[in-house]
Structure 1
């Protein structure tokens, strides 16, 4: 039994626009899975389907199942899913800018239902992100983009997740910060056995840290496999990694490279 599985899920916005069309994917316990694709491919919608955050955007699941630890969670409210161990770090960080990092962490702490104390979880979060500890009393709005992304992940860890979903954690960050944050995410995954579902446009960074990957285009899963398999795929190399075939345009009058899965 898979830790998380989406089975033939279809999502529509405003009862008209189909955002994802029969998406199926699995995340095994303790694994790290990347979901790749361009803007508008359906990546964020897939995460919101899992976390239950479609309704505020007038989205709904038309068919299919979302199973977490063997339970159909389709009818559960987002807070119930968080209590089960699902946490979603949304694109754009969404931190409380008027609060300090300490207060942001406190806002996410589940209180009596937590297995660990607030101080234990805060200490763990700051151990992963020591620069946040140095800025713990500053307003979060004054942190750099990288520090705000670290805070968003640290805040998610306060819920003691079993599965953490990250939506574009590299967005707007310098390559050195992307590498640092992805290394920490991988450490969290390996040290604590927290499963990770990573949505990324930065395919190279995602494939370097994940175990398995899916490629979504126009709301459909068009490819899946181990990250090593996807790295070797010529279409992935050309369209997502900046490599692959090279065409001598001086010797051809017309050229349009088609992705093999669209043929």
Structure 2
């Protein structure tokens, strides 16, 4: 098995990255080191997945970018974080959104007492014109026709898939350069996951919006993204084009279900195979 360093491939250089993290570390409660020197790049128009098991540091990485660590007593203690060439660490979360960066949190977090239409209005910039609001709203409804059908219903009565569509549509109302999606497949059927991921890819292609996708469903993510990073224990242990990642035997074994024929009696071999994750 090759060592970890040899498996981290650089993203193809296509000019200045839209987003770049350089050796970012995050500590919770001034004690727990959650991510340990994470570096990644996203260029304009790319779709990138951040893969890993529970507790690997995926959501923490997104919150370090969107500025949502403080409510959980988290803090970026080291490293650099730039968006469109500018340091955004000093910026508040609303200012990061205004700069073109939006975070769709795990669990959707929609306003359940409001209608889908009012949810979209709540996300639209107050400085924007009514005409522009109508244009973006119609774009959202074109991507998600079910939301248009349920536009006047209470959002809390929508299905799980419809609520996820609303969360993504609400993010689009900010006219982002980059959308970060945290576990959009959570609790959804495979068919709904496929439908939502296809729409995300369509938005990426038609509008040029970059996407950073955090997923435990590695198979679904690798089917739509261009490039992927794999996190374990707060470290980036592998990065590669999605096609290369899908073919990697360790990724297949531990994240894509493998063949189902692992010989667990051969403990030494098994542990050696997984040593790259340590």
> After TM superposition, is the score higher than 0.5?
yes
What CA distance in whole angstroms lies between the structure 1 residues aligned with 2:222 and 2:269? 26
What CA distance in whole angstroms lies between the structure 2 residues aligned with 1:151 and 1:122? 11
8 Å CA contact 2:34, 2:234 repeated in 1: yes
* Structure 1 position 117, deviation (Å): 1.3
* Structure 1 position 118, deviation (Å): 1.1
Q: Which residue of the partner structure matches residue 52 of structure 2?
A: 37
Q: Which residue of the partner structure matches residue 111 of structure 1?
A: 126
Q: Report whether the alignment pairs 1:159 with 2:174.
A: yes
* Structure 1 position 30, deviation (Å): 0.5
Q: Which residue of the partner structure matches residue 47 of structure 1?
A: 62
8 Å CA contact 1:166, 1:198 repeated in 2: yes
What CA distance in whole angstroms lies between the structure 2 residues aligned with 1:24 and 1:168? 20
Q: Which residue of the partner structure matches residue 270 of structure 2?
A: 257
CA pair 207-115 structure 1, distance change in 2 beyond 3 A: farther
Q: Report whether the alignment pairs 1:147 with 2:155.
A: no
What CA distance in whole angstroms lies between the structure 1 residues aligned with 2:266 and 2:56? 31
Q: Which residue of the partner structure matches residue 68 of structure 1?
A: 83
Q: Deviations over 1:51-101 (max 9, x none)?
A: 000001100001001100100100100011101100000000000000000
* Structure 1 position 247, deviation (Å): 3.4
8 Å CA contact 2:232, 2:277 repeated in 1: no
**For structure 2, which runs of at least 5 residues remain unmatched after alignment?**
1-15
* Structure 1 position 246, deviation (Å): 2.9
Q: Report whether the alignment pairs 1:205 with 2:220.
A: yes
8 Å CA contact 1:33, 1:197 repeated in 2: yes
Any idea what SS the aligned residue of 1:238 has?
Answer: helix
Q: Which residue of the partner structure matches residue 193 of structure 2?
A: 178
**For structure 1, which runs of at least 5 residues remain unmatched after alignment?**
none
CA pair 72-248 structure 1, distance change in 2 beyond 3 A: closer
CA pair 165-254 structure 1, distance change in 2 beyond 3 A: closer
Q: Which residue of the partner structure matches residue 98 of structure 1?
A: 113
What CA distance in whole angstroms lies between the structure 2 residues aligned with 1:181 and 1:142? 19
Q: What TM-score do you get using the length of structure 1 for normalisation?
A: 0.96
* Number of residue pairs the alignment of both structures matches: 261
Q: What TM-score do you get using the length of structure 2 for normalisation?
A: 0.91
CA pair 140-230 structure 1, distance change in 2 beyond 3 A: same
8 Å CA contact 1:98, 1:141 repeated in 2: yes
CA pair 198-115 structure 1, distance change in 2 beyond 3 A: farther
Any idea what SS the aligned residue of 1:63 has?
Answer: strand
Q: Which residue of the partner structure matches residue 12 of structure 2?
A: none
Q: Deviations over 1:117-156 (max 9, x none)?
A: 1111110000000001000000000000000000000000
Q: Which residue of the partner structure matches residue 17 of structure 1?
A: 32
What CA distance in whole angstroms lies between the structure 1 residues aligned with 2:267 and 2:95? 55
